[in-house]
Amino acid sequence: MTPLLELAEVDTFYGEIHILQKVSLQVQPGELVCLLGGNASGKSTTLKTCLGIVRPAAGRVLFDGEDVTDAPTSHRIARGMAIVPENRRVFAPMTVMENLELGAYLRDGDLKGDFERVFDLFPRLYERRDQLAGTLSGGEQQMLAMGRALMSRPRMLLMDEPSMGLAPVLVEQSFQIIADVHAQGVGILVVEQNANMALSIADRGYVLQTGRIVLSGPAAELAENEDLKRAYLGR
């Protein structure tokens, strides 16, 4: 089976600093994969490389069999990628509706059904649809960032630290929604520091350490891995 998303031996630099070193990973269609790792391990860079915000110095990025290494971000999004960025990055001075519209920026035609789908998932956003995004609470902003990404009808959703800065009850809610979206057949690559929570919903996982993949496997196996337990799982 052709992987939906594949990084093949990707190297990236930030100025002189070597960030990702021969990183290879795959996400199959409809699969939920988590990418674990500590601070500055290169997790966000990996997602930005998938999306084309960061360009690799070597290696290839493939999306649904197509080599998109040199393709602009807009092309990748048009083909079916979307991201829920770190810290949500909602457009604070714009309304909730406008934020959602921007999520569908590359799509033409009627968005009515998509708005309904997002508002079904997040009724709170419907209540606040005419409010400025900057006035929402952290949890609501996370919903908005999710909804905004879903507006492009992605086949592949990239999520950067969806639990960051959220109260524990909201973290659980957030992961429940990720699981729901996954159940609809969307491939997901989720970057997390909250390894327990991520492994509990993921099919497979990768562990990144200072720019290298040091461990990978089915989520259930990783959850029992002794090294990983000591390093990240706090057990």
Q: Minimal distance in Å, beta carbon 194 to other proteins?
A: 19
Q: According to CB under 8 A, which one of 11, 30, 64, 101 is a site residue for other proteins?
A: 101
For residue 87, state whether it binds other proteins (rule: CB under 8 A): yes
Please identify, using beta-carbon distances, which residue of 58 and 164 lies nearer to other proteins: 164
Please identify, using beta-carbon distances, which residue of 51 and 208 lies nearer to other proteins: 51
Q: Minimal distance in Å, beta carbon 148 to other proteins?
A: 8
Q: Minimal distance in Å, beta carbon 207 to other proteins?
A: 25
What lies within 8 Å, CB to CB, of 167 at 6+ separation is: 139
Three-class DSSP category at 144: helix
Q: According to CB under 8 A, which one of 45, 152, 174, 194 is a site residue for other proteins?
A: 152
Q: Minimal distance in Å, beta carbon 76 to other proteins?
A: 8
Distance CA(154)–CA(170), nearest Å, equals 23
Q: According to CB under 8 A, which one of 85, 147, 162, 211 is a site residue for other proteins?
A: 85
Q: Minimal distance in Å, beta carbon 91 to other proteins?
A: 5
What Rg value do the Cα atoms of the chain yield, rounded?
17
For residue 106, state whether it binds other proteins (rule: CB under 8 A): yes
Distance CA(31)–CA(3), nearest Å, equals 10
- DSSP annotation of 20: -
In the structure encoding, which two tokens stand for residue 100, read together?
Answer: 């959602």
Q: Minimal distance in Å, beta carbon 118 to other proteins?
A: 15
Three-class HEC string of 215-230: EEEEHHHHHHCHHHHH
Question: What is the x/- site pattern for other proteins, positions 50-69, by CB under 8 A?
Answer: -x-x----------------
For residue 182, state whether it binds other proteins (rule: CB under 8 A): no
Q: Which residue type, as a one-letter code, is found at position 195?
A: A
Angle at 34 between CA 68 and CA 141, to 5 degrees: 90
For residue 37, state whether it binds other proteins (rule: CB under 8 A): no
What lies within 8 Å, CB to CB, of 191 at 6+ separation is: 34, 35, 37, 43, 44, 46, 47, 86, 158, 159, 160, 161
Please identify, using beta-carbon distances, which residue of 11 and 101 lies nearer to other proteins: 101
Please identify, using beta-carbon distances, which residue of 85 and 211 lies nearer to other proteins: 85
Distance CA(179)–CA(184), nearest Å, equals 9
Q: Would you tell me which residues interact with other proteins (CB under 8 A)? A: 51, 53, 72-74, 77-78, 83, 85, 87, 89-94, 98, 101-103, 105-106, 148, 152, 165
